[in-house]
Chains A and B, each alone.
Chain A
């Protein structure tokens, strides 16, 4: 109960209260002001104004458009007159000789239908682009004369660029580039090209119905084989990479738990009477935790080389420190009565630990292991990108090429799905294994002592 000092006059009380209010009011302004001042400092320190100049909008545009669409290149070698069709201009996506998509009619004069009335014709000498609403753009590449372009009368619009040796037309329907050596047409399509089967596969272009029918008549293995060994998307390698990442997280987390549990006993007041060992063990945990996982990764990568084992060991070492700390805290909070009870039945020390201690800390132990299993799936992706293993490696490789953004989008989707799945799985397992958490988790989630306080 608060008691009021009756000797205080109302004036004193009022001045006290107004001082309190003033302080509160000042705090209310000072705190946001400090945060704003800090953000302003960061704004300058990170050179945000210069960011706009460094940012490349073109890169952003390619990134976005490439991640959900692809282009097919129709290329004419102007010296030999040969025409080739390839998806993304890659060898892996090239149409075999004489085969072409139905919007390209190969022949003496190749006619490329870009739809909406846009047509490009590769003639024996001249390349023509019929643009509805503008007219016919013609270009004649020659060895000596460069590219001779004929445009309809009037100003050259900005989507056409003409120079002595080059003509480039960019329209909604596609893009035509003519240089002395070759003429190239890009046509854009939505979606991920050749995701299921590459062009050389017998199943390319088949509908889902026909595939199911064929699978039913005994071709399921072959169909899966074609899909699995897809050269463009490398489904097998991607599946392996995901498995490697999960393996890193699993081995690292569980291994750390197995190593940390016995060590944690050495760091507790109630199980380790020797102060020096206790102190040393705690400092070991602090050291291992303090040396960042980045440093462990770098050091271990030197010894073990790139691969999933290095990643697993990096996670293992870092988490041993964290688990050691959490487990030893849990062990210090253990109820002695149960141990005494077990001891009174004549149990040997091992049995005392097994039946008196372990059952008490199992909930903390399991829930921490499962929490970390989920967060380590994310760490394993990051560590994989540094040491070279798992889906992290594939992702960095795809980003470094700076053109396979559809693959980047694919990997990102897979990573997000993988992490969310692990999140759901570890939550489900936690609820199953630790009874009581699922039933009343609706409104008030119960937390074990110290839980979530070291969560990444």
Chain B
């Protein structure tokens, strides 16, 4: 250490150093904060300038549309149960898209994660390749694949399912491989010693260890995928989002239908949120009984 040769610092020196240090820290913090605030302000002004309507105008109108919808829905409250029944199949389709894509995505995500984890991958050389594949799958927004597939396959639930499944495979691949990193490799070694194949080693040695975590992440993903499939319906992939778009483009006079769809979507999301929260809690902390 260079300081060994120097005289011992006195209290004054220490205090001076400390004050200087604090002042420098405050200055840096202040500058950082100022830059940050300036960035936020500039960003807000740019966004405001490039928007069709300004923030000040729109702010007063935020509740216009919801109140119109609610007023009309209240007026035709008697028809609401009928609408709920009418749109229920669309909701089921949205849920099916989410569930099927979660299942397919989880299967591919599992494969990707096993192929990309050190100690488990059958071809260690290719680990970076599989990591990049799952990165790319994760980076593509669902809407991109969905729109392109709608052009090729025509509208309907299948493009949405494929699009969400690809994204899910990438996202789960990453989360699963983090889970895998924490799994013990001893069962795998044991199985190797008795001559098990790679598939046997994985299904018997790894999956039982990581299963609960996998299911927990997949449930979380299911929740997210319901939202995603509702959004994709809005751009033409079927399901409740499509019905919402139709009801909305009719405008006034059909607001009761829009309200029914809003209600269905809201209740579904809250219900799935609560249910999967409960299930995940059980999976990670074990059953209470």
Contacts of B139 in A (CB 8 A): 378, 415-416, 419-420, 423
Contacts of A389 in B (CB 8 A): 50-51
| SS of B interface (majority) | helix
What residue of chain B has the Cβ atom nearest to residue A409's Cβ? B148
Most-contacted residue by chain A among B50, B144, B175, B241 (CB, 10 A): B144
Q: Is the CB of B40 within 8 A of A254?
A: yes
Q: Is the CB of B99 within 8 A of A291?
A: no
A392 CA to B141 CA, complexed, in Å = 10
B93 interface residue (CB < 8 Å to A): yes
A445 CA to B66 CA, complexed, in Å = 44
A-B residue pairs in contact (CB < 8 Å), sample of 5:
A56-B152, A60-B152, A289-B273, A292-B230, A419-B140
Interface string of B71-97 (1 = CB under 8 A from A): 000000000000000000000010010
| SS of A interface (majority) | helix
B220 interface residue (CB < 8 Å to A): yes
Q: Is the CB of A307 within 8 A of B47?
A: yes
Q: What is the interface residue range for chain A against chain B? A: 35 or more
Q: Is the CB of A303 within 8 A of B64?
A: yes
Q: Is the CB of B241 within 8 A of A294?
A: yes
Q: Is the CB of A309 within 8 A of B47?
A: yes
Interface string of A41-53 (1 = CB under 8 A from B): 0100111100100
Contacts of B96 in A (CB 8 A): 42, 45-46
Q: Which residues of chain B (191-240) have a CB below 8 Å from chain A? A: 220, 224, 227, 230-231, 234-235
Contacts of B153 in A (CB 8 A): 51, 54-56
Residues in A lying within 8 Å of B, measured CB to CB: 35, 38-39, 42, 45-48, 51, 54-56, 59-60, 63, 244, 247-248, 250-251, 254-255, 286, 289-295, 298-300, 302-310, 312, 378-379, 381-382, 385-386, 388-389, 392, 395-396, 399, 402, 408, 412, 415-416, 419-420, 423, 443-445, 452-456
What residue of chain B has the Cβ atom nearest to residue A388's Cβ? B52
Q: Which of B8-16, B20-28, B122-130, B262-270 contacts its partner?
A: B262-270
Contacts of A386 in B (CB 8 A): 231, 234-235
Q: Is the CB of A251 within 8 A of B148?
A: no
Task: Looking at the assembled complex, report how far the CB atom of A211 sits from the nearest CB atom of chain B, in whole angstroms.
Answer: 32
For chain B, the count of residues having a C-beta within 8 Å of the partner chain is: 65
Q: Is the CB of A303 within 8 A of B58?
A: yes
A412 CA to B145 CA, complexed, in Å = 9
Given A59-B152, A444-B182, A38–B99 Cβ distance below 8 Å?
A: yes
Contacts A56-B153, A292-B231, A307-B50 known; 12 new A-B pairs at CB < 8 A: A54-B154, A55-B152, A247-B47, A291-B262, A294-B265, A295-B262, A303-B65, A381-B143, A382-B141, A382-B231, A399-B148, A444-B182
Most-contacted residue by chain A among B40, B139, B224, B230 (CB, 10 A): B139
A119 CA to B152 CA, complexed, in Å = 34
Q: Is the CB of B51 within 8 A of A54?
A: no
Q: Is the CB of B235 within 8 A of A385?
A: yes
Q: Is the CB of B224 within 8 A of A456?
A: yes
A375 CA to B43 CA, complexed, in Å = 19
Given A247-B46, A290-B269, A445–B178 Cβ distance below 8 Å?
A: yes
Contacts of A452 in B (CB 8 A): 175
Contacts of A47 in B (CB 8 A): 156
Task: Looking at the assembled complex, report how far the CB atom of B38 sits from the nearest CB atom of chain A, in whole angstroms.
Answer: 13
Contacts of B147 in A (CB 8 A): 385, 395-396, 399
Contacts of B152 in A (CB 8 A): 55-56, 59-60, 63
A291 CA to B66 CA, complexed, in Å = 12
Most-contacted residue by chain A among B54, B152, B156, B266 (CB, 10 A): B152
Given A54-B153, A386-B234, A416-B136, A290–B273 Cβ distance below 8 Å?
A: yes
A305 CA to B66 CA, complexed, in Å = 15
B61 interface residue (CB < 8 Å to A): yes
9 tightest A-B contacts by CB?
A307-B51, A305-B52, A305-B53, A304-B58, A309-B51, A302-B65, A419-B139, A54-B154, A290-B270
A47 CA to B157 CA, complexed, in Å = 9
Contacts of A309 in B (CB 8 A): 44, 47-48, 50-51, 54-55, 58
Contacts of A304 in B (CB 8 A): 51-53, 55, 58
A108 CA to B197 CA, complexed, in Å = 74
Given A294-B244, A395-B147, A251–B58 Cβ distance below 8 Å?
A: no
